[in-house]
Amino acid sequence: MASASLLKSSPVLDKSEWVKGQTLRQPSVSVVRCLPNAPSPLTIRAGSYADELVKTAKIVASPGRGILAMDESNATCGKRLASIGLENTEANRQAYRTLLVTAPGLGNYISGAILFEETLYQSTTDGKKIVDVLVEQKIVPGIKVDKGLVPLAGSNNESWCQGLDGLASRTAAYYQQGARFAKWRAVVSIPNGPTELAVKEAAWGLARYAAIAQDNGLVPIVEPEILLDGEHGIERTFEVAKKVWAEVFFYLAENNVLFEGILLKPSMVTPGAECKERNTPQQIADYTLKLLQRRIPPAVPGIMFLSGGQSEVEATLNLNAMNQSPNPWHVSFSYARALQNTCLKTWGGRPENVKAAQEALLIRAKANSLAQLGKYTGEGESEEAKKGMFVKGYVY
C-alpha cells in the first residue's frame, strides 16, 4: 500500500522545528557572504520535503491511474445536486461524497482525489474520515487551495485567481490533516484576448502557489485552464497555449519550484466549443502532444488533463489517442464532470441507487484507466456518456 505508507509515515513537524537550521532554496548562482565567526542573519529553508514530493508525484502519476476531481465548492456542488432535485445541504453533500470515495476498487483506476476543504475534514455517512477511506483505497488525498476567480482590474473582462494570502499556514494545516497534494486553478479566456496582463497574472499566481505548497509538503497541481468558450479553431488554441505555458514555466523556474515535484493539469488543445469545424481525437492528440513537446520539461512526472466540459466519451477518446505511443511524461486525467456525470444522474439522491451509481463511476474510471494505457476502444458506451457538458460562461 504505497500511498498509505506515504501518508502515515511522513512525520508532521512544527514549523519552528523544521525551519530551524535549514536553508532557503536559492538560485545556484547566489552567494551569501558572512563575516568571520558571525552567525548568518538569514534563516534559510532547504527542500526538506523534496524526496517526499517526488515520491508523491510518482504515486499519483502511476500507470493506468489518474485523478478524481471532487473539489467542487459547496456552491458548485449545490448546482450538481439541484440537477437531480436535491437540496444543497451538508448531509446531501456528505452522502454524495461518501458514494464516490467508497466505490469498491476505485483505487485500481484512481491514484489521487482532489477534495474541497469541507471534504478534507469530513467523515462518511458511516462516521469514518474520508481521508482514511481514500488511503485504504490507495488513493492520495489532495486539496483545492485557491479562493476562486475575481475580476482582473485593467484587463478585458478577464479574471485572476485569489488565495495567496495565508496560503502557507493553510497548506501546513492541510498537510497535517492528511493531504499530500494541492490544486490551484487559473483560467485564460481566448474570446477576451487573452491580454498579456491576464496571462502573466495567471502564470505568476500559479508559480507563487506552487512554491508555497512545496515548502509545506504538498505536491502542487499547476492548472492553467484555457477555457473552451469561443468560436476559434484549434490553431488559435495552440498559439495561445504556447504563450501561456511558456509564461507558466518561466515563473515556476523563477520561483525555484522543483519540477520533479509538481503535476500539470492543463486543457487539451481543442477548438472553441462554438467552432463549426470539429477535430478528431487524433488531431487533438497531435496538437496537444506537439505543445507538450515544445513547452513541458521531461522532469515533470505527470500531465493530468482536465476535461473542461467535454463529454465523458470525448474526454476518454482524446486521452486514449495521446497514449498510442510512448511519452516522456505520464499522460493521464484529472476529471470531474467527465467521471461523475453519469454516476450523479444514476444516483438521483436515492439510497437504493448507490450501488448502481458506484458501478457507473467505476465504468468511467476504468475507461480512462484504459485510455491512459492507450487501450480504450469506446465499445459499449451509453448515450448519456456521449452527451457534451460544455456550459457557456461556466463558473466553477
Q: At what angle do helices 167-177 and 196-215 cross, to 10 degrees?
A: 50
Question: Which entry of 138, 144, 183, 265 is annotated as an active-site residue?
Answer: 265
E strand intervals along 20-163: 66-70, 110-115, 140-144, 149-151, 159-161
Active-site residue 247, yes or no?
Answer: no
Residue 166 burial (10 A CB sphere; 0-12, 13-18, 19+): exposed
Decide: 53 and 255 in contact? Cβ < 8 Å.
no
**Exposure letters 18-37 (e unless 16+ CB within 10 A, then b):** bbeeeeebeeeeeeeeeeee
Decide: 268 and 241 in contact? Cβ < 8 Å.
no
Closest CA to 158 of 124, 187, 116, 117: 187
Active-site residue 366, yes or no?
Answer: no
Q: What is residue 114's three-state secondary structure?
A: strand
CA dist., res. 208 & res. 202, Å (int): 10
SS (H, E, C) 169-197: HHHHHHHHHCCCEEEEEEEECCCCCCCHH
CA dist., res. 346 & res. 365, Å (int): 15
**Residue in the structure block whose three cell numbers are 483505497:** 137
Question: Which entry of 223, 225, 247, 314 is annotated as an active-site residue?
Answer: 223
Active site residues: 223, 265
